[in-house]
Amino acid sequence: MRTTISLFLIAALAFAQPPAATEEPVFRSDTRLVVQQVTVKDKSGKPIEGLTAKDFVVTENGIAQTVSFIEFQKLEEIQPAPVLADRASAIPRLAHSAISAERPLDLKYADRRLLALYFDMSAMPPADQIRAITSAQDFIRKQMTPADLVAILKYAGDEVLVHEDFTADRERLLATLETMIIGEDQNVPEPVADGAFGQSGGEFAIFRTDRQLSALQTAAKMLGQLNEKKSLIYFASGLRLNGTDNQAQLRATVNAATRAGVSIFSIDARGLVASAPMGDASRGTPGGNGAYTGVAAMNAMTGLQRSQDTLWSLAADTGGKALLDANDLGLGIKQAQASITSYYVLGYYTTNAALDGKQRKIKITLVGELAANATIEYRDSYYAGKEFKKFSTADKERQLEDAFMLGDPITELTMALEVNYFQLNRAEFFVPIAIKIPGSELALAKRGGAERTVIDFMGEIRSGGPANNIRDNVDIKLSDATASELANRPITYDTGFTVLPGNYRIKFLARDAETGRIGTYETAITIPLLKPATDPADTKLAISSVVLSSQRAEMNDALFNANKNKEKSQVEQAVNPLVQDGMKLIPSVTRVFSKNKPFYVYLQAYQQSLSTENTTPPQPLVAFVTFYRGDEKVFETAPVTVTEKVANRLNTMPIKLNFPIDSLATGEYTLQVSVLSPNSQKAAFWQAPVMLVP
């Protein structure tokens, strides 16, 4: 007999050992509630109703557990609702990145069958996408029952999107599916041939498969927030592992589905594949003896089978079924529907509260005559939660990857981010990024006789697809003096990218490597295309973004920046305009300034011409800063004439302003930077809110 058990781990309140009489009472959360779904059927295959907690015996690793609650979920027999007619048009809907969660003991979807349709668009060509979506539409029109709730999820190589949360509204589901058909094939990656971009196609396939499996893992975790039984119907055009390279992610995905109580029903959207022995017209005819000895045909068949083996493993290891080599893809959805019959939701508080991440064996039996006259189905194991301090290196990396793929921000660790841009040449811009984290939120560890704080960083800048990324590990050693100072001062990490003009999204993640607390930050930035001014009537002066600061620091100041490798640091200093004479201008990020510190303003102006050599000398500029409160001007610096020019074709003119602000009252202001070219009658203005504190 095959046994399955699904579960959901939830923290519950329990007390620690009694404290000493002189200490304050301490309460700890160290009890875990395990929720399982158990199906009990008689010899004829019908669900048995009316059982109570006394009818079940539950053990975990051989230790008896006390059933704390039990509830029967009665599902109606599968009797399809009236067939819906075809819709004439799609209704656009806003996709989001999460399934609505339940409270621990709140069965939000009681007596309902939960079916999640998951379309892996990154693994399906357009024809397979249409075939998969059409089969889903047919199921909703003809086979969906009143007891069914259906959700629609999609992965297109970026993130998992929830196009529709669980609903019984068939009209809404059909409208959403019709919307998905439009343009869904535009982001499907083409196969990468060996040698392209200096890497082999196999290398790209390894990462692509890992991302597909990781996305499926994210979807399983979303569904794990629900206590009821869940079936995830996974549409893909095969999923091929690359040797042992993807085994770790496959295991992590299966484990996540097991923990979440999700059964995966994988469907090969290619249907019954009839491949030509010499290959089809999508690629050139292969050469060599393999075309005549049958080796080429055997390799093609082996590749097809390997791409289906992963689909079969995902289904078999999570209690689902795989639909392979079948043109009626709707059969796979019907299998998932038929697999969920009436069942019991049973929960107990495990006596083993250790967060060690180990597998725990579950055994559930019936008492009395039920043991001989009934069959019981459940998952027979689960993996305990794991404390961060017990994570292996692989666990820590996977935690970062999972957190980075989430659409919603994580705010365990407070962080602020500032993005600027400076033109390097006619085509490229340097984008410096500064991340500020309050030192009081970081944990210090004693290592080698000194205090250290360790931070992991992961970042990506993308425009449609990934444009550049960074992965950094910062180990900052602090002296006794700076360690005590850390509680009142932030740590600023800085890095930079070189990109072309365009619209970008930047996402960064920071993790305290001592506690595992994570913070994420995502923002959009537009890098403008600064063209040479050819129209005399154009009065705009091309400038970079403006950096506001109250401090300049030595490059090796541990409180303000991470010590990167020497080669990388030298390259960054060569292109980063914020680094001059061994000193780095530290962006304020939060734009809160102390009156007792100097105030720095830095930006660049560009007076490039159409000439390739650009021998036209730049015009002198005048710059000044104004502080406003409402519409009232309360402070203005004396105009500064700028004549310095960087030796490049852009006629780059750095503008550096430095002045005291101790005469201003504390409070909020609007700061305006004005740059004027008296000779050419051009100007540029930039504004931002700032806060002055004592």
Class of domain 538-555+576-694: mainly beta
Q: What one-letter code names the amino acid at 2?
A: R
**Residue 577: is its pLDDT beyond 80?**
yes
**Residue 324: is its pLDDT beyond 50?**
yes
User: What region does 681 belong to: left with phi over 0, alpha with psi -120 to 50, or beta?
Assistant: left
Pairwise pLDDT comparison (592 vs 95), residue with the higher score: 592
The span from the CA of 605 to the CA of 619, in Å, is: 11
Residue 671: which pLDDT band, with cuts at 50, 70 and 90? Answer: very high
Pairwise pLDDT comparison (87 vs 628), residue with the higher score: 628
The domain spans of the chain are 9-74+343-389, 113-330, 409-529, 538-555+576-694
CATH of 409-529, one of 3.40.50.150, 2.40.430.10, 2.60.40.10, 2.60.40.420: 2.60.40.10
pLDDT of residue 280: 60
**Residue 357: is its pLDDT beyond 50?**
yes
How far is the CA of 329 from the CAs of 130, 263, 265, 336, 495, in angstroms? Answer: 11, 18, 11, 12, 48
Average pLDDT, stretch 367-372? Answer: 85
pTM of the model: 0.58
Residue 386: which pLDDT band, with cuts at 50, 70 and 90? Answer: confident
Pairwise pLDDT comparison (278 vs 596), residue with the higher score: 596
Average pLDDT, stretch 647-670? Answer: 89
The span from the CA of 162 to the CA of 139, in Å, is: 19
Residues 2-22 have pLDDT tens digits of 333 333 322 332 323 334 444
pLDDT of residue 347: 87
The span from the CA of 678 to the CA of 175, in Å, is: 59
pLDDT of residue 16: 33
The span from the CA of 202 to the CA of 193, in Å, is: 8
Residues 400-413 have pLDDT tens digits of 877 787 766 777 88
Q: Among positive and negative, which fits the CA dihedral 18, 21, 26, 27?
A: positive
CB within 8 Å of 455: residues ≥ 6 apart: 437, 442, 473, 474, 476, 491, 493, 510, 511, 512, 513, 562
Average pLDDT, stretch 205-231? Answer: 82
The CA-based diameter of the chain, rounded to the nearest angstrom, is: 100
Average pLDDT, stretch 157-172? Answer: 86
- The secondary element (H helix, E strand) that includes residue 362 is strand 359-366
pLDDT of residue 86: 59
Task: Report the candidate in 413, 414, 407, 12 with the shortest Cα–Cα distance to residue 221.
Answer: 407
**Residue 236: is its pLDDT beyond 80?**
yes
Residues 488-534 have pLDDT tens digits of 777 888 888 888 999 998 999 999 888 888 888 888 899 988 877 66
Is the distance from CB of 92 to CB of 163 less than 8 angstroms? Answer: no
CATH architecture observed for domain 9-74+343-389: Sandwich (2.60)
The correct answer on CATH 3.40.50.410 for the domain covering 113-330 is yes
Least confident range of 67-81, 112-126, 554-568: 554-568
Return the number of other C-beta atoms located less than 10 Å from residue 25's C-beta: 8
Is-same-fold flag (9-74+343-389; 409-529)? yes
